Amino acid sequence: MDMRGKTVLITGSTDGVGRYVASRLAAEGAHVLIHGRDAVRAKALIDNIVEVGHRAPTFYQADLSSMAGARELAAAVTQDHPRLDVFVSNAGIGSQNDGPQRQESRDGYELRFAVNYLSGFLLAHLLLPLLKAAAPSRIVNVASLGQHPIDFDDVMITRGYSGSRAYAQSKLSQIMFTIDLAEQLKGAGITVNALHPATYMNTTMVRAGGVAPMSTVEQGGAAILHLVEGDDVAGRSGLFFNGMNEARANPQAYDADARRRLRALSLELTGLSS
């Protein structure tokens, strides 16, 4: 995909791999919509991009730990843009960020499930009209190889909680949603794919978790850019990638009944079912 003149929204793009991808796409001529909670970080990114002679990104500040924050972001983007060529759902919190204890979002949902999965689920649905207007267009969900099956009797993990389990459940949920949405959008000209960009990239999230980085932001960014603009994935949808290569996710991702249950729950929790 030639990115010149394309409009791309990347959540969680004022730091880490999202920042790298935003900078690269701006250099390729895309109009990049960056998102984050920190306006100071956003200004630094915009200044860096403008300084080297590229079009200034547009910053949208939103807290995706609440469904209201996700709705406000979608409304702002929709008000400003008639079409959206690519949506990269990258915002998230790691297994140990903000501590290992169980936390809840403003809506009362387990925090990692809310931020890493539900906000992206809601945004994707609310942005579908813009993505359809730009077809062929793409949705890229930044997931992980760390995946844990969903216990539908305790989705919010009120028993036996651990940050790593919560993170891994949220990431598998993203992949299940990817497969599910790809099936729903067959024939609409919108592809939906998910990926594990790289293992323990040198990002704030990884370092905050006390983990020694094993790969670079550039490696993970290249994998995301592959799904954003690669010709070899044009028209391919509902897939999970490990870096540059197609891979298999946790078996629950391919369980149609589990995906149906997750879809129904997600529609209810995000208010889309009404």
Q: Which residue has the tokens 């030639």?
A: 2
Residue 184 makes CB contacts below 8 A (sequence gap 6+) with none
Q: Which of 20, 161, 167, 200 is catalytic?
A: 167
C-alpha–C-alpha distance, residues 220 and 242, integer Å: 10
- How far is residue 196 from each of residues 35, 150, 205, measured CA to CA in Å? 20, 19, 15
C-alpha–C-alpha distance, residues 96 and 120, integer Å: 20
200 is catalytic: no
Identify whether the C-beta of residue 171 lies closer than 8 Å to the C-beta of residue 223.
no
DSSP 8-state assignment for residue 191: E
C-alpha–C-alpha distance, residues 171 and 144, integer Å: 6
Catalytic residues: 167
